[in-house]
Chain A
Amino acid sequence: MMSSKIGLACIIDDDSMYVNLIKKIIEAKSLCQNLMVFKNGEEALNYFEVILSNLDKKSIPEIIFLDINMPVMDGWEFLEGFTKIKNKLGKTITLYIVSSSINPVDIERAKSINSVKDYLIKPVTIEDLESIFLNQPA
Chain B
Amino acid sequence: MLQNELFDNVVRDFNTGYWELYKNPNKEVWSQKFYESIGYSNKELEPSIDYFLEHLIHKEDVAVFRDNFLNYKKNDVNFKQHIKILTKEGSYKLFRCTTNDELPVNIKSEVNLLFFFEIKLEPEQAITKDNFYYKETAQMTATGSWYVDFAKRKSYWDFETRRILEYPDDYIPSLKDSANYYAKDCQQQAADCFFNCAMAGTPFNTEIKMVTANDRVFWVRAIGKPVYNDNKEIIGIRGVFQDIDDIKKKELRLQRSIDIIASQNSRLFNFAHIVSHNLRSHTSNLSLLVQLIEDIDNPEEKIELVNEVKQISHSLNTTIEHLNEIVAIHTNKDQEKKVIKFQDALNLVMNGIGQTIALSKTQIEADFTGLEEIDYIPAYLESILLNLITNAIKYKHKDKDPVIQIKTYIKESNKYLKVSDNGRGIDMKLFKDKVFGMYKTFHYNKDAVGIGLFLTKNQVESLNGTISVESDVDQGTTFIIEF
Which of the 9-residue segments A19-27, A53-61, A84-92 touches chain B?
A: A19-27
Residues in B with CB closer than 8 Å to A20 are 308
23 contacts between A and B (CB under 8 A): A17-B312, A18-B281, A20-B308, A21-B285, A21-B288, A21-B308, A22-B288, A25-B288, A25-B291, A28-B296, A39-B444, A40-B444, A69-B277, A72-B443, A73-B430, A100-B277, A100-B281, A101-B277, A122-B281, A122-B284, A122-B288, A123-B284, A123-B291
Q: Is the CB of A122 within 8 A of B448?
A: no
In the complex, B311 has a CB within 8 A of chain A: yes
Can you name 7 extra interface pairs (CB under 8 A) apart from A18-B284, A69-B439, A101-B277?
A17-B308, A71-B444, A71-B450, A102-B276, A122-B288, A124-B284, A125-B291
* B444 close to A126 (CB less than 8 A): no
Say yes or no for A131: interface residue by CB 8 A criterion: no
**Residue on A with the closest CB to B434?**
A74
Interface residue range, chain B = 20 to 34
Chain A interface mostly helix, strand, loop or mixed?
loop
Contact partners of B291 in chain A: CB under 8 A? 25, 123, 125-126
Q: Given contacts A102-B276, A126-B295, is CB(A17)–CB(B285) below 8 Å?
A: yes
Smallest distance from the beta carbon of A8 to chain B beta carbons, Å? Answer: 22
Contact surface of B with A, Cβ cutoff 8 Å? 273, 276-277, 280-281, 283-289, 291-292, 295-296, 305, 308, 311-312, 315, 430, 439-444, 448, 450
Q: Which residues of A contact B283 (CB under 8 A)?
A: 123
A7 CA to B5 CA, complexed, in Å:
114
Chain A residues with CB under 8 Å of chain B are: 15, 17-18, 20-22, 24-25, 28, 39-40, 69, 71-73, 77, 100-103, 122-126
Tell me how far the C-beta of B395 lies from the nearest C-beta in chain A, rounded to whole angstroms: 12
Q: Is the CB of B295 within 8 A of A100?
A: no
Q: Which residue of A lies closest to B276 (CB)?
A: A102
CA distance A71 to B434 in the complex (A): 10
Residue from B273, B311, B448 within 8 A of A17 (CB atoms): B311
Chain B nearest CB, measured from A29 CB (Å): 8
CB-CB under 8 A for A21 and B281, given A39-B444, A72-B443: no
Quote the shortest CB–CB distance from A115 to chain B (angstroms): 20
Closest beta carbon of chain B to A106's beta carbon, Å:
10
Q: Inside 8 A of A28's CB, which chain B residues have their CB?
A: 292, 295-296
With a 10 A CB-CB cut-off, give which of B281, B305, B308, B312 has the most chain A CB atoms.
B281
Which of A22, A71, A125, A126 is the one whose CB lies under 8 Å from B442? A71
* Other-chain residue from A24, A72, A102 in contact with B280 (beta carbon distance below 8 A): A102
Using Cβ atoms and an 8 Å threshold, which residues of chain A touch B441?
A: 71-72
Pair A72/B295 contact, Cβ less than 8 Å: no
Q: What residue in chain A is nearest B283 (Cβ atoms)? A: A123
In the complex, what residue of chain A is closest to B296 when comparing beta carbons?
A28
A18 nearest CB neighbor, chain B only: B285
Distance, CA A101 to CA B439, complexed state (A): 14
A100 contact from B280, B296, B448, Cβ within 8 A: B280
How far is B273's CA from A103's CA once the two chains are assembled, in angstroms?
8
- Assess whether A123 is in contact with B444, with CB atoms less than 8 Å apart: no
